[in-house]
Amino acid sequence: MADRTTINASDNVATIQKNADEQLYKFVSLWLAALFYGLYLLLFVKAIPAFIRRSKRTLVSLVFFVSSLYLCVIVTLWSALTLYQFVQAYALEVMKPELPIMFFRDFARWDGISISWLIALCVWAGDALVETQIYRCFLIWGNNYYVILIPFLLLLLSIIINTISLVWLSYPSTFTFDQVHPVFNMVFPVNLTINLLTTGLIVHKLWREHRLSLRTGRSSYFDGLDSLLAMRIIVESASLYTLQQLLLLVLYYCNHPAQLLFHGTVAPTVGIVFLLMATRTYEAQDSRNGETGGVESREKDSETGSASESEKGEGRDTTTI
């Protein structure tokens, strides 16, 4: 009897410590979320004039402009709900006498499930258009559907996995935990695989064209940028999301509460990486071409898949991102 009492006491101490650790990490994650949203908002305000100006020129630019507006709405709604939860849990202490962390564990509440769905919508958009560059990969490989077949199937798998997870969080009686646990284990590996696969395909294509240009003595340009510069912008921008997903993967399998720090920044990170990639590309294009008709003519040429007369004369190879 004494041994059983000792074991129960140890379990209680461990549970209390676990709750305290999670509460601390959750509190810090809320401030990190606010910081990341502030950075995202600054980048959005800076980028929106360029998005509007270029959206009138090509279909590709219009797609990215609409995507930026979509992400802005999703990330802003997510931030507003996160602030609401922060006030409810830590300021109003609606869970008294229980700890505030218990408020965030109730995913069946309207705000809890709404935040989960908003993150899922944001990540799916990132997988399709932003971080893992399925759409950019499709464009760079000359509208080749076969190249993006596996990434697209993985995106569908990601949607199925996240939908099952969200349904279970909203209605726990739908599945047992043992049934849904393997699904949870697939979330971060699938996200990371899509990211690495499509970014790798883009880099491979750009590097191959760069090597070809060295052998032929022709310059290789993608969307008005030198292929190496375009490759650097894509890799450097996407690395933020990749690193975040990798850390979440490791911390999740270690069952460490520090994963809460990065959970709280997923939505704004998707928006930040998208804006970083777009603004750096636009700034590099403007730096090379200036605000002249050369930009418009190159964009028109990229839509038709042909180089401008001046570039043909110089022996340059042009492709659109």
Entry pTM: 0.77
β-pairing, 225-226 vs 317-319, is unpaired
The one-letter amino acid code at 249 reads L
* Pick from 215, 221, 214: nearest CA to 311: 221
- pLDDT tens-digit map of 288-316: 665 445 444 444 444 444 333 334 434 44
Say whether 1 sits in a helix, a strand or coil.
coil
CA atoms within 13 A on the CB side of 89: 21
- pLDDT tens-digit map of 6-50: 445 555 767 788 888 888 999 999 899 999 999 999 999 988 888
Distance CA 304, CA 307 (A): 9
* Pick from 108, 94, 107, 60: nearest CA to 263: 107
Structure tokens at 276: 């970083």
DSSP 179-210: HHHHHHHHHHHHHHHHHHHHHHHHHHHHHHHH
- pLDDT tens-digit map of 52-102: 888 777 777 787 788 888 889 999 999 999 999 999 998 888 888 888 888
Helical H segments across the chain, by residue range: 2-55, 59-86, 101-104, 110-129, 134-140, 149-170, 177-216, 227-253, 259-263, 266-289, 293-304, 309-314
Minimum mean pLDDT among 227-236, 265-274, 305-314: which range?
305-314
Gyration radius (Cα) of the chain, Å: 23
Query: How many other CB atoms are there within 10 angstroms of residue 245's CB atom?
Result: 26
Q: Which helix (H) or strand (E) holds 14?
A: helix 2-55
Say whether 226 sits in a helix, a strand or coil.
strand
| Average predicted confidence (pLDDT) for the chain | 79
Asked if residue 258 lies in contact with residue 26, where contact means CB atoms within 8 angstroms, the answer is no
* Pick from 275, 279, 195: nearest CA to 235: 195
The one-letter amino acid code at 192 reads L
Q: What percent of the chain has pLDDT over 90?
A: 19
Distance CA 33, CA 29 (A): 6
Say whether 148 sits in a helix, a strand or coil.
coil
Asked if residue 132 lies in contact with residue 124, where contact means CB atoms within 8 angstroms, the answer is no
Give me the mean pLDDT over the 166-174 stretch: 82
Distances (CA, A) of 309 to 7, 151, 209, 286: 81, 36, 20, 20
Asked if residue 166 lies in contact with residue 94, where contact means CB atoms within 8 angstroms, the answer is no
Asked if residue 124 lies in contact with residue 155, where contact means CB atoms within 8 angstroms, the answer is yes
- At 136, the pLDDT band (50, 70, 90 cuts) reads confident
